[in-house]
Structure 1
Amino acid sequence: MPSRREFLAAAASLPLPAVPRFDAKAWRTRWIHPPAGESAGYGVYLFRKSFNLESPPASLMVRVSADSRYELRVNGVKLCWGPARGTLDWLHYETVDIAPHLRPGANVIAATVWNDGPYAALSQFSHETAFLLEAESSGFDQINAGPDWRCLRDAAYEAIPVPQRSQYGYFAIGPCEKFDAAKHPWGWEQPGFDDSAWLPVRMGYLAAGRGQRDAQTRWALVPRELPPMEETPVRLAKVRRAEGVKPPEDFPAKPAAWTVPANSKAILLLDHGHLATGFPVLSIDGGQGARVSLRYSEGLFQSEKPRRVKGNRNEVEGKTFWGYGDVVVADGRPRQWRPLYWRTWRYIELAVETGAAPLTINDVSAVYTGYPFSLKARFESTSPEHAQIFETGWRTARLCAHETYMDCPYYEQLQYAGDTRIQCLVTLFNSGDPRLVRAAIRLLERSRTPDGITLSRSPSTLPQFIPPFSLWWICMVHDYWWYVPDPDFVREMLPGVRSVLGFYQQFIGDDGLLASMPYWNYVDWVPAWRNGTPPSSEDRMSATIHMQLLLALQAAADLEAATGDGTRAAEYRVLALRLAVNIRSRFWKSGRRMFSEDLEGNRFSQHANVLAVLAGLVEDAAASKDLMERTSSAPPSELDPCSVYFRFYLDRAMAKAGLGDRYLERLGTWQFMLSEGLTTWAEIDRPETRSDCHAWGASPNIEFLRTVLGVDSAAPGFSKVSIRPHLGPFKRLAGAVPHPKGIISVEIERTATAYAIKHSAPPGVEIVL
């Protein structure tokens, strides 16, 4: 396995392909399925193709995909896994060169294909279990998926469903697994394995690219646009509790074998030291019939507290472990197991129950996995806390980024537009890699319904509508246009932008305000709001929703003017101006000198006033500064407060109002979470948070660079760079920000009357101080 540095270097060197909306590539190969009657429901299937070669070719590219998931091996070597998350009408295929792993004589291509059936994650689409492999060169059609492939259902696997709802929250992930080693055909992926008892595959329809005429297949194929996910071996940190056995002192930080006697039980609580996503790896020997369970948890729960209260995540004494998990049944032989799909944990509870034979645990380790980001940003101050906040934010962002962004890796693994806008900006400011950003924007655009809006999340087999998230999606497209030099992609998104705004326009009444709207108009998790929806008048939407629409209209006007229809841009500007006038005349309450959420002026929030500043609804700089000083300092009893999620917008408004120098003094939200022992940012900055890992809280990884260091785009495509620092109480700061052309490095020192700024930038990058 390559080192992490080698892997990231290879991933970063992959081109940024212009992935088309349609793929007219002609396929010569049909999908293959398990034998008749076995394609529906949960199942793990093994597909094999044996063949002989006189001498391997220098290169042999194959295209491969599956419904739902697969791992591809050649002569026992795993080459790739996928397909990258998508939908049935946007199903990715991977292209991989198998030649380096071929040999003269006997060879075998082997694929593990699984379908989680009724237990599947909400992000996983499926029609029926199927597999596809085709050599790009017709000279190697002998290896293509076809009637001479063999198939076996692997009876070793059983699903362990994760309930969608429990006292610990809402879940949308796929199942865990029970693996019975005695039922697995060990060695099946190697040449020479006897598969004569396996059944022939069932042939399906001819494969077809998306956009081909009269394709008789449910899967519309498009090439994968993302690099392979990273896989890096890692060690767990330590044992926190042990019952029934005393493991070696260095375990699990170092490999060390230990044995559980026959007819006994043992339980270990293993601490990774921080939250992680990856594949746990269990190595065992002996103990025929012994059961080993691995349960995963972000943190232990306080037994005497109301549900979901965890307290300090570093503390385990007197706490209750809860988590979903896997089960492995030993067959008495030396075996190594890892699950088919990755898991999330900080703590792993390892429980062993033996029968007539002792079981030896040779090792418990893990393989980290996630999108192969490389951190290129840097932020240096004299405060160790800043470094900890930056590191924690980057870890959070990484664990919430795989084949898609996701709100959280433990509970849902769904790509919500509201979360993803912030995650995309974290990506661009910290790594500069726009590939996952572009894929996210496209997947959300492809979720548009006949109503015109996007789904709240995509991919998702369960449609959910949060119309304000469609407005944030428009702002995502605007962010991409501002930071990535890719106008053709922005132009491709314009029909979706127009569609979303068309949905909203039908709800604007004669008074120029939005009438009550359908679906879930979620904004933020505010304790006083019902289901995250801001209070409003009976027949008109809240001020915050109006302001989101105003921001989206302003963004759409910019996009149309730069890449689309100038006439439409002018129309959007007129609509935005009218809406701004109506918002100010109806929601501004002069007695409070603030915007209220409802027309009557009964409810006020930070959100409405924050977005008012961002949308330019406040008449001048002095008024904006005054409003934000009062908004940011008001207690929750006076203004409904922003959660950690909406702090992204509050801090942007503070900077726009000329209060950026206060940013480093306003880190209490993240300081609280660090004091709770969190190693990633939680879903909400309150003790009863559900998820311990929500990247919508990673906005300091943007604002340390954009607000404090002051490095930002000053023109579309990052074609100009502005440096406008806000050091707050600090006299010196330094850092670096990735740019499409390279790295921008900055050193800033405060003098008695000004800033002394040293900077370096790639050739051709214009800097505006």
Structure 2
Amino acid sequence: MKRKSLFAITALMLLMTTGNAQLPPIFGPEYNQIAQKDELTRIFISPIRVLWISDSSRKLIKNSEVLLKPGNSQSDMSRTTRFCSMTTTLADTASILLDYGKELHGGLQLVMGGSSRREPSLVRIRFGESVGEANSNTYNSDWLMGFSTDDHAKRDIIMEIPRTGMIEVGNTGFRFVRIDLLQPGTTINLKEARAILRYRDIPYLGSFKSSNPRLDSIWITGAYTTHLNMQEYLWDGIKRDRLVWLGDFHPELKAINSVFGYNEVVPRSLDLACEQYPLPQWMNGMSSYSMWYLIIHHDWYMQNGDFDFLNSHREYIVGLIDLINGKIAEDGTETLSPFRFLDWPSTPNKEGVEAGYRALLAWALRDAEKLCRVLDENRSAQVAAGAARKLNRKIMPHNDLKQAAALMAVAGTLDPAIASKEVVAVDGAKRFSTFYGLYMLDALSLAGMQDEALQIISDYWGGMLDMGATTFWEDFNIEWMENSARIDELTPEEMNDIHGDFGDYCYPSFRHSLCHGWSSGVTAWLTENVLGITVVEPGCSTLQVKPYLGDLQWVEGSFPTPYGVVKVRHERQPDGEVCSEIDAPEEIKIIR
């Protein structure tokens, strides 16, 4: 189905309001092309608690509770104002650890109220996604257990702060901030130590509420995880890597479709990816991420029906299909790339990765054919279909890898019931992954095993919540929970630090990202499977509403479309039947 974009006027308005800044008249026209308005919003947030201070006597650190009050970003030297005072001796520093309650992206604003010296004072400021990270030391020459890193965002900063006035520091992902006064024999007065939250101020058009508050918390946490990563571009993580990775992109896209609907961060990021990795390069240097590029385009078009944007990528899509087809032999052997990447936890299982990689390619080619039909690129559609036929002449075994079996079920190369019962559902949430967990859940749904999927969601994503998460993580194994302290508490000596004592591959210890967009696919799954809302025709012109309540008594929520928000409520009746109320714009056809 082809139709002109519904977003032309909206896009023009966005360009006018978020493009060139309206500068004071003193700036001439020569600034028009070099000045840009910050399209993101800044909010100041006071800490919700002082988690720890170094001075148990409270003689060297006084009035720390002052920092919990609302602020106004104005320095003050009045004798009637109460400040948090921090004092060092010639031998000891003074330290304070602040908790802002939620994972944030941004920095720290310190508002001063004078000090015992005229000169600036030396401080150390450490940002942490966990208490352990905020207390950790940095090592940047290698990735080592027990250390944090600064190579994508500076989180451990030694700097001088002024005697009075205000100073801002930091641009990273964090929930906790530790401030150490290093200047010997000095007292500083802090009026405010507020976090700066930098984010897109956009409405949550999608929603999910049910008779199970745990599921509700999981849904909104996944939504917020992706929301924080919607910066100038769609990042993988707000602490690390702060890049547009096309694999991470897909679960984030699914969450965006379910929560926010159309947002220009998606087309902008896809445009950037094509600029950074022109053909014949693979996206992000990985052939599997070029496959995700095709799947992303398909899902974005189905949600928004934005033909103009799809058409703008016509040349890249067609060229990528030809590139892939040229590397698949008639017997199904393919030579796309020696580097076969699904996700990090699957890496040791090379046979399973091979099977999953080929299934991902089959899925991408299926979506590529559909895209070409929309674009009237009939030759390329035939090439994509032919490439898929060649590829599927050789189906590789999944080798008991959950990621592989899930992809094979989604791609249609393995019966979902077999994939789920023999592999994906075995041992429940064990051997799940934050990235490929979405496709494992999809496989279970295709097999009619929604109850098992819901239990895994509660155990796995809910397990992160149990450990103090306010956003979902780059990686997680439920085995990590045993004898581990939460991320929002000091770790006793006899317990594990769930952040610092685990992690692997490129994310050992405190390098591990605790706000990673690829973990948010669970939000989309709950919308699609529990609320039961799925897109049937491009642009949401036709939706299917087929809820699955499991043990729930009721569930209600909303779903964004180009025509407006669809609202649903499903409630189990005394006889066990589910009664549904659906409120949808008149332009949308609803299939029950």
Q: Residue in 2 aligned with 1:164?
A: none
Task: Compute the displacement of 1:416 (Å).
Answer: 0.6
1:387/1:307 CA distance change after superposition, 3 Å: farther
Distance 2:8 2:42 in 1: 17
| 1:300-334 deviation line (CA, Å, top 9, x unaligned) | 44999x96579xxxxxxxxxxx98333442454x2
Task: Compute the displacement of 1:240 (Å).
Answer: 1.4
Task: Compute the displacement of 1:670 (Å).
Answer: 0.8
- Specify the SS of the correspondent of 2:235: coil
Higher helix share: 2
Q: Residue in 2 aligned with 1:292?
A: 123
Task: Compute the displacement of 1:247 (Å).
Answer: 3.4
- Specify the SS of the correspondent of 1:388: helix
Q: Which has the larger radius of gyration?
A: 1
- Specify the SS of the correspondent of 2:12: coil
Q: Residue in 1 aligned with 2:267?
A: 438
Distance 2:87 2:356 in 1: 63
- Specify the SS of the correspondent of 2:53: strand
Task: Compute the displacement of 1:391 (Å).
Answer: 2.6
Q: Paired residue for 1:16, among 11, 36, 43?
A: 11
- Please tell me whether residue 691 in structure 1 is matched to residue 513 in structure 2: yes
Superposition pairs for residues 134-283 of structure 1, below 5 Å?
135=29, 144-145=30-31, 228-244=39-55, 245-248=60-63, 250-254=65-69, 255=71, 257-261=83-87, 265-283=93-111
Distance 2:582 2:306 in 1: 26
Superposition pairs for residues 62-81 of structure 1, below 5 Å?
none
1:766/1:253 CA distance change after superposition, 3 Å: same
Conserved 8 A contact 1:280-1:343: no
- Please tell me whether residue 468 in structure 1 is matched to residue 284 in structure 2: no
- Specify the SS of the correspondent of 1:432: coil
* One-letter code aligned to 1:274: K
Q: Paired residue for 1:633, among 408, 411, 425?
A: 425
Distance 1:239 1:250 in 2: 7
Q: Residue in 1 aligned with 2:4?
A: none
Q: Residue in 1 aligned with 2:554?
A: 732
| 1:530-565 deviation line (CA, Å, top 9, x unaligned) | 4xxx5149xxx8121111111111111101101231
| 1:142-168 deviation line (CA, Å, top 9, x unaligned) | xx359xxxxxxxxxxxxxxxxxxxxxx
Q: Residue in 1 aligned with 2:168?
A: 338
Q: Residue in 2 aligned with 1:556?
A: 368
Conserved 8 A contact 1:239-1:268: yes
1:734/1:19 CA distance change after superposition, 3 Å: closer
Q: Residue in 2 aligned with 1:669?
A: 460
Distance 2:385 2:162 in 1: 70
| 1:130-183 deviation line (CA, Å, top 9, x unaligned) | xxxx63xxxxxxxx359xxxxxxxxxxxxxxxxxxxxxxxxxxxxxxxxxxxxx
- Specify the SS of the correspondent of 2:192: strand
Conserved 8 A contact 1:289-1:355: no
Distance 2:38 2:95 in 1: 39
Q: Residue in 2 aligned with 1:95?
A: 20
Task: Compute the displacement of 1:227 (Å).
Answer: 7.5
Q: Residue in 1 aligned with 2:222?
A: 393
Distance 2:579 2:145 in 1: 49
Consecutive unaligned residues of structure 2, counting only runs of 5 or more, are 1-6, 72-81, 137-142, 148-152, 481-501, 504-511
Q: Paired residue for 1:762, among 546, 571, 585?
A: 585
Distance 2:418 2:88 in 1: 73
Conserved 8 A contact 2:340-2:354: no
Distance 2:373 2:258 in 1: 25
1:95/1:607 CA distance change after superposition, 3 Å: same
Q: Residue in 2 aligned with 1:53?
A: none
- Specify the SS of the correspondent of 2:203: coil
Task: Compute the displacement of 1:735 (Å).
Answer: 0.9
1:626/1:335 CA distance change after superposition, 3 Å: same
Task: Compute the displacement of 1:350 (Å).
Answer: 0.5
The alignment's TM-score, normalised by the length of structure 1, stands at 0.63
Distance 1:737 1:653 in 2: 23
- Please tell me whether residue 417 in structure 1 is matched to residue 246 in structure 2: yes
Superposition pairs for residues 450-461 of structure 1, below 5 Å?
450-454=279-283, 456=284
Distance 1:292 1:477 in 2: 48
Q: Residue in 2 aligned with 1:358?
A: 187
Conserved 8 A contact 1:373-1:398: no
Higher strand share: 1
Distance 2:405 2:186 in 1: 68
Q: Residue in 2 aligned with 1:544?
A: 356
Distance 2:361 2:8 in 1: 39
Task: Compute the displacement of 1:357 (Å).
Answer: 5.7
Distance 1:517 1:330 in 2: 51
Q: Residue in 2 aligned with 1:369?
A: 198
Distance 2:161 2:374 in 1: 63
- Specify the SS of the correspondent of 1:714: strand
Distance 1:728 1:574 in 2: 41
Conserved 8 A contact 2:472-2:515: yes
Q: Which deviates further from its counterpart, 547-556 or 253-262?
A: 253-262
- Specify the SS of the correspondent of 1:250: helix
- Specify the SS of the correspondent of 1:412: coil
Q: Residue in 2 aligned with 1:85?
A: none
Distance 2:310 2:336 in 1: 31
Q: Which has the bigger relative contact order, CA under 8 A and spacing at least 6?
A: 2
* One-letter code aligned to 2:401: S
Conserved 8 A contact 2:325-2:383: no
1:439/1:330 CA distance change after superposition, 3 Å: closer
- Please tell me whether residue 705 in structure 1 is matched to residue 527 in structure 2: yes
Distance 1:640 1:583 in 2: 29
Q: Residue in 2 aligned with 1:67?
A: none
Distance 1:356 1:632 in 2: 61
Task: Compute the displacement of 1:364 (Å).
Answer: 0.8
Q: Residue in 2 aligned with 1:578?
A: 390
Superposition pairs for residues 557-636 of structure 1, below 5 Å?
557-580=369-392, 582-584=393-395, 587=396, 596-597=397-398, 603-618=399-414, 623-635=415-427
Task: Compute the displacement of 1:406 (Å).
Answer: 1.3
Conserved 8 A contact 1:742-1:762: yes
Task: Compute the displacement of 1:246 (Å).
Answer: 2.8
Task: Compute the displacement of 1:612 (Å).
Answer: 1.8
Task: Compute the displacement of 1:624 (Å).
Answer: 3.0
Consecutive unaligned residues of structure 1, counting only runs of 5 or more, are 1-11, 21-60, 64-79, 81-93, 103-107, 110-133, 136-143, 147-206, 208-220, 311-321, 457-464, 588-595, 598-602
Task: Compute the displacement of 1:381 (Å).
Answer: 1.0
Q: Residue in 2 aligned with 1:488?
A: 308
* One-letter code aligned to 2:202: F
Q: Paired residue for 1:644, among 434, 455, 461?
A: 434
Q: Residue in 2 aligned with 1:680?
A: 471
Q: Paired residue for 1:478, among 298, 301, 309?
A: 298
1:502/1:703 CA distance change after superposition, 3 Å: same
Task: Compute the displacement of 1:281 (Å).
Answer: 0.3
1:566/1:745 CA distance change after superposition, 3 Å: same
RMSD of equivalent CA atoms: 3.3
Distance 2:469 2:31 in 1: 48
1:560/1:337 CA distance change after superposition, 3 Å: same
- Specify the SS of the correspondent of 2:10: coil
Query: How many residues of Structure 1 are paired with residues of Structure 2 in the alignment?
Result: 521
| 1:464-512 deviation line (CA, Å, top 9, x unaligned) | x111011001100111111012111112212212222333223323422
Q: Residue in 2 aligned with 1:176?
A: none
- Specify the SS of the correspondent of 2:586: coil
Conserved 8 A contact 1:376-1:736: yes
Distance 1:366 1:349 in 2: 12
- Please tell me whether residue 715 in structure 1 is matched to residue 545 in structure 2: no
Distance 1:442 1:335 in 2: 42
Q: Percent identity?
A: 18
| 1:94-122 deviation line (CA, Å, top 9, x unaligned) | 31223xx56xxxxx55xxxxxxxxxxxxx
Distance 1:524 1:545 in 2: 10
Q: Which deviates further from its counterpart, 657-666 or 469-478?
A: 657-666
Task: Compute the displacement of 1:275 (Å).
Answer: 1.5
